[in-house]
Amino acid sequence: MEFDLIEALRARTRVARGDVALGIGDDAALLEVPNGMQLVACTDTLVAGVHFVADTAPADLGWKSLAVNLSDLAAMGAEPAWALLAMTLPEADEAFVAGFGQGFAELAARHRVALVGGDTTEGPLTITVTALGMVPTGEALTRSGAHAGEAVFVTGALGDAAGALRFLRDSGIGIRDSDQHAASTCRSALFQRMLRPGPRVAAGLALRGLASACIDVSDGLLADLGHVCTASRVGAEVEIEALPVSEALRAAFDEASCRELALAGGDDYELCFTAPGESEAVIMATLAQAGCRATRIGRITAGSGIRVLDARGRALATPRKGWEHFSEARARRT
């Protein structure tokens, strides 16, 4: 469709890469994958009203649509290289495309990701990004490599994005008004995490050869660690007191809510990974060099399922009721 819209996107997202033999403009892109590297491919769709609040700023949407995909590449230990963008727009909206392109380009530039193609169609607002990256053959991190006895770690802090979402719902204010509201409170940090998640690309690269299994936390820690357990045919124990929670989340919610958000809240895009406990010091040092902190939050066990333990090692009854709020959002995302 609209050549001008595509041209506007292309102009905004120009990133020089020698491995793009042919980019936007032909029927398909031609990309060079070096010998000894595997191509890593993933795609994610964002639908207005389902995956993001309808009046989200276009620039935030542009950022996030790429971020969720770079997070998947990060979880594989892959280095991002290229992206394709399929946009369905209710109308040929130049202002929307300009804002979207700006947010998309801002994140793409940070990770040297070249936009090499896409599709533009008319219909209900839907954004699909496909991200392509590379990993040395055989070195990708997967969900299936965890072993009983290993430790479980998570990068950064959990629950912030879900905290922002809960705040919006509880207060009934629109996302456009949230800036004002956040300015006078500690909440701007939470909104930042919801609207502009930072994919853990450097951490994913640093974890190659160190982590036995890895996943990004998009649906909530329990759900995503559960995927690792299923794929690896193991169980896990998570120490509730060990979960990393930000100052901003602590300031905005009581302790019980913080724990619930950290366990079940989605959209944080941190990495959850497993490794032998003896590797902890090396892992922490390597991640610190990559500008990332991590926390040991539990262990992998024989069997199946996840148990959440309190400070005295007792299994907590999982408060399903309290999580319905999130499982609803989760169900809509899948």
List interacting residues with Mg ion (CB under 5 A): 119
Measured CA to CA, the distance from residue 237 to residue 213 in angstroms comes to: 16
How many alpha carbons fall within 13 Å on the CB side of residue 154?
28
Between 97 and 194, name the residue whose CB sits nearer to ligand ADP. Answer: 97
Measured CA to CA, the distance from residue 161 to residue 135 in angstroms comes to: 29
117 binds, among Mg ion, ligand ADP, none (CB under 5 to 8 A by kind): ligand ADP
Region for 146 from its dihedrals, namely left if φ exceeds 0, alpha if ψ lies in -120 to 50, beta otherwise: beta
170 binds, among Mg ion, ligand ADP, none (CB under 5 to 8 A by kind): none
Tokens of 252: 């905005």
Between 101 and 117, name the residue whose CB sits nearer to Mg ion. Answer: 117
Between 80 and 101, name the residue whose CB sits nearer to Mg ion. Answer: 101
Residues near 223 by beta carbon (within 8 Å), at least 6 away in sequence: 264, 266, 330
| Residue 127 CB, nearest approach to ligand ADP (Å) | 9
127 binds, among ligand ADP, Mg ion, none (CB under 5 to 8 A by kind): none
Residues, the chain, total? 334
Measured CA to CA, the distance from residue 71 to residue 75 in angstroms comes to: 6
Name the one residue in this structure whose structure tokens are 């509880």: 170
* DSSP for 213-280, written as a single string: EEEE-SS-HHHHHHHHHHHHT-EEEEEGGG----HHHHHHS-HHHHHHHHHH------EEEEE-GGGH
Between 27 and 255, name the residue whose CB sits nearer to ligand ADP. Answer: 27
Measured CA to CA, the distance from residue 65 to residue 73 in angstroms comes to: 13
Q: Which residue number has the CB closest to Mg ion?
A: 119
Residues at the interface with ligand ADP (CB under 6 A): 6, 9, 24-27, 85, 87, 115, 117-120
| Residue 5 CB, nearest approach to Mg ion (Å) | 13
Between 11 and 285, name the residue whose CB sits nearer to ligand ADP. Answer: 11
| Residue 24 CB, nearest approach to ligand ADP (Å) | 5
- What H or E segment, with its residue span, contains residue 179? helix 178-183
| Residue 118 CB, nearest approach to Mg ion (Å) | 8
Between 40 and 116, name the residue whose CB sits nearer to ligand ADP. Answer: 116
Measured CA to CA, the distance from residue 236 to residue 218 in angstroms comes to: 18
Terminal-residue alpha carbon distance, the chain: 29
Between 119 and 278, name the residue whose CB sits nearer to Mg ion. Answer: 119
Between 120 and 230, name the residue whose CB sits nearer to ligand ADP. Answer: 120
Neighbour-count burial for 29-50, b at 16+ CB within 10 Å, e otherwise: bebeeeeebbebbbebbbebee
